[in-house]
Chains A and B, each alone.
Chain A
Amino acid sequence: QKEVEQNSGPLSVPEGAIASLNCTYSDRGSQSFFWYRQYSGKSPELIMSIYSNGDKEDGRFTAQLNKASQYVSLLIRDSQPSDSATYLCAVTRAGNNRLAFGKGNQVVVIP
């Protein structure tokens, strides 16, 4: 099992719809979870961090964490063309120096 796994294939959503991205991780000791957004040819930028079970909302973004099921998800509400990017899930253990990344999910918002 891969350390951090994200759904393969691009996700196409109409403008204004909800985009839903999922990420699973293999290490039960994982403590910190991040979602990064990366535009083509650009560097990743942090959009959400979550450390405890439940939902965390920031603007149009909601991160959901379920440690028992070992998954973290990202919802993008009211999707805009500017949300078209690759979204990277990243996971680390407390006190660990290594941040493991998933391969990313490409989101395409169709006007």
Chain B
Amino acid sequence: EAQVTQNPRYLITVTGKKLTVTCSQNMNHEYMSWYRQDPGLGLRQIYYSMNVEVTDKGDVPEGYKVSRKEKRNFPLILESPSPNQTSLYFCASRLATGGNSPLHFGNGTRLTVT
């Protein structure tokens, strides 16, 4: 089954404790992206990657890191999480055919930073 898999689904952590949210897709998509979704603010892009070893900032990259060492994986790293990073996070992927390809979303990761 074609899918984007995120782990974990739920994560509660404390301020300053480094964490990684994993994302993997099995559709051979070149493009992958991370979004956060907050009430009243909608979906905002954190980082995206056009292909292996190619990453770029989205709208809200501060406090986050990403890497793209393999085509299928695009982990999101919070080196020192803070409470304002409490949010619902989505990984998504699509073919890199310009902007016409729709995004496929993972099931989301609900992160709480205390």
Contact = CB atoms under 8 A, between A and B. Distances in A.
Interface of A: 31-32, 34, 41-46, 49, 51, 88, 90, 92-99, 101-104
Contacts of A42: 107-108
Contacts of B43: 44, 88, 101
Given A42-B108, A103-B40, A94 B98 contact: yes
B90 A32 contact: no
Contact of B105 (A32, A45, A51, A94): A45
B103 interface: yes
Given A43-B105, A43-B106, A43-B107, A97 B42 contact: no
Interface size for chain B: under 10, 10 to 19, 20 to 34, or 35 or more residues?
20 to 34
Contact of A97 (B41, B50, B104, B105): B50
Interface string B34-46: 0000001111110
Interface in B87-114: 90, 98-100, 102-108
B20 to A, nearest CB: 20
A88 B31 contact: no
Contacts of A44: 43, 90, 103, 105
A51 to B, nearest CB: 7
A21 to B, nearest CB: 15
B98 A96 contact: yes
B62 interface: no
